[in-house]
Structure 1
């Protein structure tokens, strides 16, 4: 599915997409959070992109772990530890392989979600990025055709972002708003969708 070079290229594309969408993500966060989600993520993924050349010959796991450590150290707020943990766990799941297949991807995705749930002490239905990511993983697992499953995963994540508009936030800064958090999409769910869209675009061509 993807070798180390391709994984590095996907991370570069994610950095570009987050940079392009940082104002929209920050606007979502301004409505129910600290108002810095897009700015912070763009800084973090920009730092990841800047380190990709030095990781050119590394294993897939090492590249993902580098991304995770960089995000933890450069992204402020809650999203740095959450996304950082996701990439660190994904890297550990893939290990020292220089190529990952569809099963490796699903295993890494599963580990990333488990890491986010553990770090954020969160579960599905609490208006977090898990409301986009868990349905996406389920859709991917249910389809024996990986390419089709990836398309379905993006659709499921899109539906998950829409779902977050309808529910009360019980985690993070948004939880302080009570009923006023309803009607707004979760910024973490939106950025998770963006990352999935980039991955799907790069993998499917």
Structure 2
């Protein structure tokens, strides 16, 4: 069973990683996009950190929904609706749950992915964060089925995310501002996919030291 504190740990790590990597994510995005990805993500998640203690923790779904509302209202451009939708869809999957189990994690991720696809109109292979997030969900599903420990699952997910993010480098961007650059987008990884990898790597490095 994954405790509520584990959910909080994941969300807080996502938020802190987004803030810490504002310049890095922005620099990546500026290669083929408008360069505001890092700034937008950091502005949204710094609000999450600032208001951390105020979020309703009645249950996991309520907590995640409040996070979604906060980042949607603060993150600019297309990233706000996309990341907000991901959190909302994941929240809906565990409505009424005070805790989430390993069996909940994959449906939460699948719901988030479906939400991103519906909101952004993106498909796999179009050089977006989906190209990292979808393989991560597959890896987690396989690791859970194999009976791996949570540490091994998070570590495997991080490794998959990094490989998947790197694999976006030769792709042609089909969505977002980067799509306007066409073949000039070839040769640099997608900023959103890299963000997924960096977040998973942060989770993996800190997982053993999280507080219960």
Q: TM-score range by the shorter chain?
A: over 0.9
The question of 1:108 aligning with 2:128 is answered no
SS at match of 1:123: coil
Structure-2 residue corresponding to 1:132: 132
Give unpaired runs (5+ residues) of structure 1: none
Please list the CA deviations of residues 155-204 of structure 1 after superposition, one character each: whole Å capped at 9, or x if unmatched.
Answer: 11111111111110011111111111001111111112223233444544
Partner of 1:192: 196
The CA RMSD over aligned residues, in Å, is 1.7
The normalised TM-score by structure 2 is 0.90
Aligned match of 1:35: 35
Partner of 2:80: 80
Aligned to 1:99: 99
Does residue 89 of structure 2 align to residue 68 of structure 1? Answer: no
Question: Measured at CA, do residues 130 and 77 of structure 1 come closer, stay the same or move farther in structure 2, by a change above 3 Å?
Answer: same
Return closer, same or farther for 1:204/1:124 CA change in 2, 3 Å cut-off.
Answer: farther
**Partner residue of 1:153?**
157
Query: How many pairs were matched up?
Result: 205
Classify 1:7/1:202 alpha carbon distance in 2 versus 1 (closer, same or farther; 3 Å).
farther
Seen in structure 2, the aligned counterparts of structure 1 residues 105 and 88 have a Cα distance that, compared at 3 Å, is same
Q: Which consecutive residues of structure 2, in runs of 5 or more, have no partner in the other structure? A: none
User: Which residue does the alignment assign to 2:173?
Assistant: 169
